Amino acid sequence: MFQLFLKGGPIMWPILVLSIVTLGVVIERALFLVQEMRCQDHATVHHIFELVEHGKIEDAAQAGKGSKDRVARILIQGLEHRHSSLNDALLEASSQELERHNRGLVTLDTAVTLGPLLGLLGTVTGMIRAFGVIGGNAIADKQQAITGGVAEALIAVSFGLGVAILAIIPLNFFTARLEKVRRQLEGAMNRLTILLSKGD
């Protein structure tokens, strides 16, 4: 595999760096999601809503203190600022949570686009190298240089596409998870706003 990599020409080094960065982001995001799943505390969130519904706002604010659940965190933020600016507090808290889930997705999106482009650049340089020797004298040298240039082009484009494939599947998965979290937070925010408005 390494010998094949070396035959891809100098463009392979940026592709290698891109693939390492992409793999690092995928692993980090996967570990982040696992950690987030472990921190979910549906019982606490349900308890907070129950207390708010019964008008026990202070108890509700205390019930979620220290919870690592993302929904509980935004609810507590909203309850603590309900007298000044409930909506702003909820939006700010949810924005911070979504930012945590969005981290790294720009890198994956860049890898999806940049991988094939680097491969295409390797194809162009390989073709230039292949056809740049046509004016030479030795036929054997010409054939070897042309086939070497074509091989360089094909290897570069295949590795570039490989990086894009490595990035696009996790990117779509993480984006779908982000949208799911967004809907979950919006639902919790709306429910809290409705419950508090009923109390007023």
- The predicted model scores a pTM of 0.80
- DSSP state string for 28-67: HHHHHHHHHHHH--HHHHHHHHHHHHTT-HHHHHHHTTT-
Cα-based distances in Å from 30 to 26, 71, 180: 6, 20, 16
Mean pLDDT score, 12-39: 93
- How high does pLDDT run on average in the chain? 84
* Predicted confidence (pLDDT) at residue 130 exceeds the cutoff of 70: no
Question: Is the separation of the CB atoms in 165 and 116 below 8 Å?
Answer: no
* Predicted confidence (pLDDT) at residue 147 exceeds the cutoff of 70: no
Mean pLDDT score, 151-170: 86
Q: Give the burial class of 200: count Cβ atoms within 10 A of its Cβ; 0-12 exposed, 13-18 middle, 19 or more buried.
A: exposed
185-195 tens-digit pLDDT = 999 999 998 88
Question: Is the separation of the CB atoms in 160 and 120 below 8 Å?
Answer: yes
